[in-house]
Amino acid sequence: QVAVTNSIFIDDLEIPKSNHPNIKKLKNACNDHTDHGNKVWNSSLVLIDAIKDLNIRFHDNNLVLDLGCGWGVLSSYLALNGANVVGVDKDPNVEPYFKCVADINNVSTLFLCDDFFKKDFEIDYDYFIACDVCFWKKHIKQWKKFIKRVVKDGKQLLMCDPGRESFWELLKICDVPHIVERHYISKPRKTDSYIVIFGE
């Protein structure tokens, strides 16, 4: 039995921390992350709470794409709540962590190692989520193009960010309908982030 101090919990979702035995094993075996997929970011916790507040209901017919999925905490949460989830990340080193989180929570999720900024990337999904993805200014225009593709296809993209400069620059240039609000949580950690829904 793993001690509670090795994980944090949101409802039925268990999120392993860096000192969790399974995570420690993975870090010892393959700790060569790129693109900041090396931990669970606080914005993931905020977005999970926001999804509950937004009253979004997922079911088996919903195919959700978790963009820049990292360890797959959002993917596992959505799977626990009935969604059919694909997590995509261009860093192949996050896949073992993605699978670890899914195994801990006994859910079925699919990992896709790919670059979703590619022109021919398939966007045949019902819903898109992205958390802590606006790290670099060089990707702002790529995000704008991707978001326009999604919205033009009649879909929505739900994004969460702590408020980086690149995130605000994206909102400034993104000429698609969107709403943004700040969301606070007190547990499992006291933190806040900004939630954006692109599309109508």
Task: Yes or no: say if 125 and 86 are a contact pair by the CB < 8 Å rule.
Answer: yes
Of the candidates 34, 106, 55, the residue with the CA atom closest to the CA atom of residue 77: 106
| pLDDT tens figures, 74-111 | 999 999 988 999 999 999 999 999 999 999 999 999 99
- pTM for the structure as a whole: 0.91
Band of residue 134 on the pLDDT scale cut at 50, 70, 90: confident
The number of beta carbons lying within 10 Å of the beta carbon of residue 154 is 8
Comparing 56 with 38, the larger pLDDT belongs to 56
Phi, psi of 51 (to 5 degrees): -60, -40
